[in-house]
Structure 1
């Protein structure tokens, strides 16, 4: 069996051009599909490294932003509790001042003491 080699230079050039066009088309379709200029290290190794670092920083900033929002919520809750404690303390002061008045009867003082005790109990709940 004889081996024969046929060389057609224009056919080989056309095949190489077609393969290159198909490769470029594949890269373009991948970029269009993902919406990214860099899809692998082969596209731009330095750019991929920079993009990865920036993505890491962005993720870190997102977590920091969430932590700040959580801390803000916690502080707002604490502020609400402090306001409520302050209001209860003012009311307790008013009750103590009112109970010190000599015009109150024993029943009045007992009622004031009962409210005072309830407010004191509420302070423990806060």
Structure 2
């Protein structure tokens, strides 16, 4: 087959175009830091990258969910701690009130403090975190926009309290209850007992009747302690889950980096080598083009 000048020129141009493509690829890898910049560069790497990116995204979402769980549980535990202190003070008042040495006026002062402590516990029951009532189950917006815990003078609830569990997904397929069921602590019996206790202090003269409230308050204290113990167990579990999720996130990011990120040192070496090849191709190409009549007229 006869090799013509046009064939040599076309081959040279095609090879130079291929060399430019390689230079462009290495320059793009160097500027972006990625092995590939479009799926067509390497479909296998692109497909793996999608899977790894999904894992990283899920891990980051679970981390945000766990942050919400901590916020909910920590505030619940703080509220129960304040409730515990209020109940302990109420027990002290019951012990004092049962002492026959106190006069009617002094017991009236105790009754006033009981009323204030009842209002304090009521405020705790209506605790809001990020505009959500944390002690009203899944109805975190309250009842028609009003506080969920609203009681009359006799300690009776005005609204129906929501006791449904609030579950948040903290890892793949794992949901954890984050709320405290209101009936476990802030039940109607508690506020009724406190209302009756205050009334007994104001009007009653029977020390045994007042002393009976010591046992009633002890029951509420035990309920609060049991609820805090259950909450603490779930807090310990979320700590373990959080460590696992963080480790999974680091592992997923590491795999994604190994799959997608370019080896900069290798890219620089390839780019330098390709530049040398390209210069050699240009030099050889300049020799392939035959002289023209103008070259002899200079």
Same topology, TM > 0.5: yes
Pair 1:79-2:77 in alignment: yes
SS at match of 2:39: coil
Shift of 1:117: 0.8
Cα deviations by residue, 1:70-126 (Å, 9 ceiling, x for unpaired): 111111111111111111000001011111111112221111111111001111111
Unmatched segments (≥5 aa) in structure 2: 125-298
Unmatched segments (≥5 aa) in structure 1: 1-5
Q: TM-score, normalised by structure 2?
A: 0.39
Q: TM-score, normalised by structure 1?
A: 0.88
Pair 1:49-2:47 in alignment: yes
* Displacement over 2 Å in runs of 4+: 6-14
Structure number having the greater strand percentage: 2
SS at match of 1:102: coil
Q: Which residue of 2 aligns with 1:33?
A: 31
Structure-1 separation of matches of 2:64 and 2:31: 31
Greater RCO between the two (CA within 8 Å, min separation 6)?
A: 2
CA-atom RMSD in angstroms: 1.4
Picking from 81, 103, 106, the partner of 2:104 is 106
Structure number having the greater helix percentage: 1
Picking from 100, 115, 118, the partner of 2:116 is 118
